[in-house]
Amino acid sequence: MRLWDRLTGRKAENPAAALYQAVVARGREPHWYETGAVPDTVNGRFDMIASVLAMVMLRIEHDAEAAETTARLTECFVDDMDGQLRQIGIGDVVVGKGIGKMMALLGGRIGAYRDALADGVAPGAFADALLRNLYRGEHPGDAALAHAAEGLRALYDGLAGVSHEALLAGRLA
């Protein structure tokens, strides 16, 4: 942070802000909710954004810059979720607990998706992970589940060809 920014109290721009904005935009695409039957609720939108974010974080962990980018991307997520909780009327006392729970949910998704997408894992493992994490155990129907699984798998596979610099610029494909 530059001296002038510190003296005036301005925060420097988070270098992962464009990437986080792209994650949120991808997670809010209507097809997830229409064709993929992700519930269009506060929880459903959180689950979808967290799933897209998990795909991006799984991609980033293969880069030398992983620690810094993951930390900055996590800061964006926490700031956004803090603002969302406050916007829906959650008070200061509960916000910290809510953020902690959201971080645990994100971490659980990253682990579950990492395991399900690993080489040699049964083909249905990813769909099972989505049922538990994206749909919270409620089966949306075979076509909707296939849509979400194919869309997130395509995102995961497509991210492999995107450079770290392009990711930070917000390009997910």
What was the pLDDT predicted at 100?
A: 83
Cα 102 to Cα 94: distance, rounded to the nearest angstrom: 12
Q: Which residue has the higher pLDDT, 35 or 92?
A: 35
Return the amino acid letter for 1.
M
Return the amino acid letter for 173.
A
Q: How many Cβ atoms are within 10 Å of 102's Cβ, its own excluded? A: 19
Q: For the whole model, what pTM was predicted?
A: 0.88
- Give the three-class secondary structure for 64: coil
Query: In this predicted model, what pLDDT tens digit does every residue of 113-172 receive, in sequence order?
Result: 999 999 888 889 999 999 999 999 999 999 999 999 999 999 999 999 999 999 999 999
Under a CB-based contact definition with an 8 Å cutoff, are residues 52 and 28 in contact?
no
- Check whether 35 has a pLDDT greater than 90: yes
- Check whether 93 has a pLDDT greater than 80: no
